[in-house]
């Protein structure tokens, strides 16, 4: 883990520290998911569509803030791995759904994600935890 140096003049800028924290956390989560051969974006799709049969690729992209050009290879990779399938919704749209193998992998993703989230929150002082998520959500808008 990379630490911010005490003599770093940027260490007092909230945006800089937030970016560094996000990069560190995503790096750590990415390494944990790599153990099951998934990227964060792969795991995010599996978590998002779990138990659903009505989400299209464009809806997934909107929720996860992934551009269409990046959604195609992402979904193709998950489909090639046998984790998702496409099911017709109507004449124009297809839903992205988990396959049985995707359901199994989802369980692994959930275990890794829950452990990661618990470890992340354990780094936040107890007194600050109630304010942590509201503060982050306020930044999103």
Global pTM value: 0.89
- Euclidean distance between CA atoms 95 and 59, whole angstroms: 10
Q: Domain 13-140: which topology?
A: Arc Repressor Mutant, subunit A (1.10.10)
- Tens digit of pLDDT at every position of the chain (141 positions): 556 777 788 988 999 999 999 999 999 999 999 999 999 999 999 999 999 999 999 999 999 999 999 999 999 999 999 999 999 998 899 999 999 999 999 999 999 999 999 999 999 999 999 999 999 999 987
Q: How many CA atoms lie within 13 A of 78 on its CB side?
A: 30
């Amino acid at each position: 883990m990379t630490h911010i140096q005490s003599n770093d003049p940027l260490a007092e800028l909230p945006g800089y520290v937030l970016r560094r924290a996000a990069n560190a956390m995503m790096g750590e989560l990415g390494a944990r998911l790599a153990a099951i051969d998934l990227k964060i974006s792969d795991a995010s799709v599996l978590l998002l569509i779990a138990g659903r049969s009505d989400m299209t690729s464009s809806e997934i992209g909107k929720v996860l803030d992934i551009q269409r050009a990046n959604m195609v290879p992402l979904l193709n990779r998950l489909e090639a791995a046998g984790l998702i399938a496409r099911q017709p919704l109507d004449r124009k749209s297809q839903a992205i759904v988990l396959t049985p193998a995707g359901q199994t992998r989802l369980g692994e993703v959930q275990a890794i994600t829950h452990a990661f989230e618990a470890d992340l929150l354990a780094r936040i002082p107890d007194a600050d935890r109630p304010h942590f998520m509201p503060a982050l959500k306020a930044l999103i808008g």
